[in-house]
A and B are shown apart, each in its own frame.
Chain A
Amino acid sequence: MAMTIVEAKASQKTKFAVIDCDIHNAPASAEELRQYLSPRWRRYDETYGARAQYPGAAYPRLHPSAARDDSWPPGGGRPGSDLPFLQAQLLDEWQIEYGVLNPLVGGSGRNNPEYAAALCQAINRWQIESWVEPEPRLRASIVPPSEAGELAAQEIDRCAPDPRFVQILLIARTQELLGRRKYWPMYEAAVRHDLPIGIHFGGQAGWPITGAGWPSFYIEDHVGMPQSFQPQIISMIFEGLFERFPGLKIVLIEGGFAWLAPLMWRMDRSWELMRDEVPHVKRPPSEYVRQNFWITTQPVEEPAQPSQFVELLDQLDMNDRFFFATDYPHWDFDAPDQALPSALPAELQRAILAENARNFYRF
């Protein structure tokens, strides 16, 4: 197929500053990450391999590597693996002021917890040395071995002193519900360093995405991802996480948000009726959502009537808690100048595109 590579040009496409809170960088090859493993874990990796609960998500997903077709670096390698190309195609193209890296490299889901910890350490060192060091617009997310709470806390403690780490990255489909006690040491470390926990679309813990087994089609996984976010929010609230860790900050990344207001209504009513079962939950659940949760925009839900999007925001009442995200280089990328409905007031667009994130993350 003949393709002309159109050279990316810097252009002032949006009227406001842009901060992108969901960028997926990737190693060009498995070897690139292995270089950051100690000899012991390098040998383990070569001898026993990944060993995860679930051998891996099926690809392609609509597009090869689930990426924009135009995001394959001309010099080779996977989408998101070439810093100069990412700079040109994303950061320069939309004059993005800061970008938060969320590498989906699968370090945390390994069955061997010590190996998971070694892999996460490799991922975190790789982020700093290969991405954040040479490109000061980028910030990193700490990838912790999240299924082993104590080890996750250790990795957070190791990384947090470097201010270029601005959050801790979890994946929505975990082995247990995120309110449960095995994860608490990780939350303790997050609060200790005042770092938010980002929970991103995806995961390989081995559970089906639905309550009734595995769906037939990719489209069901894609559409159904809120099913993996909702129980995490419900669990974190009803386990009393935000009474135990009032300073805990949760960012919901790529889970959508049109479903969140009805979930709050449902949680509030149930709590009014059954609060004696969970007496540690002292306030209406919606108050914890509005106090401890933030949301990234992509994929921006697209109601049939633009006015319905404005209603949706009214229902949520969380306008100061939305962060813009592109999801680059994935195929459901949101362009900064196109993603937000033009019906939104200019001040709100400015807040969502950059200012909310600027006030929240330690850039």
Chain B
Amino acid sequence: MKLQTYEVVIRPLVTEKSTHQAGVQNCYAFEVHPEANKAQIRNAVEKIYDVKVLDVRTSLRRGKPRRTRFVQSRTKHWKKAVVELHPDYRIDLF
């Protein structure tokens, strides 16, 4: 099934690292749908934030193991995307 635009980008990641990258490299990090591909992410970000995307780098983040007493479990796996923008564009995440 085709992913809708707002299903692709789940949320922007506002962290120390991401704000630093935003300032220095004009790169912004997002949590994205685990099955979204780079093209979908590029389109989604361009549409949502009205910017021009130069590059999308993705990585799969494996969930961390968790344990409640004797029950082993893990947090969910997720996909992170770092989107590099054209220097003319910026995203205000705050």
Chain A bound to chain B: no
